[in-house]
Amino acid sequence: MIHFYGLIIGIAIIIGIDYFSRHQTVIPKNRVNLFIVGLLFFAILCSRLYHVTDQWDYYSQHPSQILATWNGGLGIYGAILGAILFIFLFSRYYKISFLEITDSITPILPLCQALGRLGNFVNGEISLWWFEASLNLFLFFILKSKTLKHYSSTALYLIGYGTIRFFFESFRSDTWQINSLKIAQIISLVFILAGFTLLKLFSRSK
């Protein structure tokens, strides 16, 4: 099962890289590979850090398992936050538009995340995986809709995925909490607020 989990996650990553490589126009070609490698490193590192922090009661007793990503345990919000951090640093260093980069990536993310939920199912990690995967697919088609091309796909993604994740966290009892506050729901609300803020800024600039 673990091998199938890794295979599915690998396929999702390849799909994302292929889409970005074909659709991005803002990063010079001689820096695209550097960007992709850096993005994957930050995303995987932070996704694992998020999961380990979430499950620290277990990993504090089994430190040898902290790096055992092949056994599962990659937090999607950690991956997204790590990717955002890297894109911000990359865009500042090379003086490239942060939003132009993210707008080249976000349309494919819901499809990759739908595949990721399939990987979670194969790994026996999440119930209701098919419902969340279906909503991610729906969000993917929304972001690819030609009628919404004049909106920032980053803003729509933040609102859409933030809403999906906030809803499903209500049904989970196995996720990171501080007292009674679910960290993923807090991040979801931040995403939704950031998305609406971006939409408002874009509407003012037109």
Instruction: Collect all residues with Cβ–Cβ distance below 8 Å to 125 and sequence separation of at least 6.
Output: 72
Percentage of the chain beyond pLDDT 70 is: 89
Q: Using alpha carbons, list the distances in angstroms from residue 76 to 31, 45, 79, 80.
A: 26, 11, 5, 6
pTM for this predicted structure: 0.86
pLDDT value at position 124? Answer: 62
Please, which pLDDT band fits residue 1 given cuts at 50, 70 and 90? very low
CA 20 distance to own-chain centroid: 14
Give the domain ranges of the chain.
Answer: 2-205
